[in-house]
Amino acid sequence: MSEEDTRPMAGTVAFGSVPTRLGDMVVAVTEDGVVSTGWGDPARFKARLLERLGLEEADDPGVTAAVLGELDDYYAGTLKVFGVPVDWRLTSPVQRRVLGTLYETVPYGKAVTYGELAARSGTGVPARAIGSIMGANPIPVIVPCHRVVAGNGLGGFSGGDGVESKRWLLTLEGYLQPMLDWD
């Protein structure tokens, strides 16, 4: 099967999900790449995205297979760099620049502060606004907003179970040391 055979038809979006320790992660893939990921109710995720994107749903598991496979490998601790294409259409130009800087410059197992990312992006966005951009990231994990931390701690996280999900992801990547489990 050629690469073209696994891409959704123009103007469509395909959905899939993968079970993770943080709950099921739902993905949406357009002809340009992964447009959204998130945790939660798949039906709500789909409805919200279909309305926001104005696209038809493609019922084709082959379209989402690559991203679901990479996410499986990431959550198993064996994938450090995502290779699937990203569709940035749900971001504004400023969000795209900040998130793109994060995506391109902060590798697995590393973190950057909100202020450092603000400076790196060259957008003039103040550090306090970087948190809002991270909170609006439509493609968490693949575009690793969990790798942006406060200068004095972890900072916030709007995905999964909030900051505990961020802590878990940073521990998976080896940025944080595992906490002792007293159970």
Catalytically annotated residues: 145
Q: Residue 163 in contact with residue 154, Cβ under 8 Å?
A: yes
CA distance 69 to 33: 14
Which residue is listed with tokens 């990312």?
117
Distance of CA 123 to the CA centre of its chain: 21
Structure tokens that stand for 141 in this block: 């994990």
CA distance 83 to 172: 19
